[in-house]
Amino acid sequence: MTLKLEYIIAITLFVAGVLFLSLSISGTKSYRILLTKGEKAIGKVSEIKYKNIPGKRQQERTMFINFTTKEGQDITFKSGYSSSSARVGDTITVYYMPDNPYNAEVKLPFIMLMAIYFIIGAALLCILLSLGLFAIAIHEQIFFNDKSSIIASAEIVELKGFRGRPVSKDNFNTAVLKTETGQTIEWNVIGDTGITVGDKTTVRINIKNPKKFKVEI
């Protein structure tokens, strides 16, 4: 049994959304713990290393930060964030955990935090879209399978604008279809779909509720 395209897209969006959401939340959670439970110190950029990225012109940039804890312990750590404007010797705010000073990170700029929250929002949107696609696919599976519906030939007998407006290429239009069984169906279409009066098509109609239909172009 092959998966329908709707299911494949929904699964892809759901997996991508969950993956990005879990990674983003994990990163922000660790950072929030540092902000709320960690100690604050002023550090210095002690070293910047560059690494070539295969197949790309730009280089990966890594900052190493040095700071001193309240107890006088000298700490150097690799930051997960690297500012393109930072230079060796620049001072920078650092947050660290008192019980493990090597668990430290620099204070992220506001725009970086906004980017992280944007990724979280995009991940949530992917999950919602995937759930919507699942719902649509399941709805079609229930109402328009071979047992619950019939297929009928139909002809477009009229095109009219949405709610009495003139037919437009940029707005909703309504195509009136007449099936071989004599049923009249009004099918809402968006913009210029290339259909004209006299075109033939097929319609899948739900047996129990003929008002539920799916035009198969």
Mean pLDDT score across all residues of the chain: 81
CA atoms within a 13 Å half-sphere pointing along the CA-CB vector of 201: 22
**pLDDT at res. 112:** 62
* Structure tokens, 65: 């930060």
The predicted model gives 6-29 an average pLDDT of 79
Burial of 43 (0-12, 13-18, 19+ CB in 10 A): buried
pLDDT in tens, 132-145: 888 877 877 777 78
Report the candidate in 47, 33, 42 with the shortest Cα–Cα distance to residue 93: 42
Domain 149-216, what fold? OB fold (Dihydrolipoamide Acetyltransferase, E2P) (2.40.50)
Distance CA 111, CA 201 (A): 52
pLDDT in tens, 43-71: 999 999 888 878 777 778 889 999 999 99
- The one-letter amino acid code at 154 reads A
Of 62-76, 141-155, 194-208, give the range with the top mean pLDDT: 62-76
**pLDDT at res. 109:** 65
Q: 119 or 79, which is more confident?
A: 79
Domain boundaries in the chain? 5-114, 149-216
Q: Which pLDDT band, with edges at 50, 70 and 90, does 1 fall under?
A: very low
Q: Which residues contact 63 (CB under 8 A, 6 or more apart)?
A: 45, 47, 48, 78, 79, 81, 82, 83, 86, 106
- Report percent pLDDT > 70 for the chain: 87
Strand 39-52 to 74-78 pairing = unpaired
**Predicted TM-score of the model (pTM):** 0.49
**pLDDT at res. 136:** 79
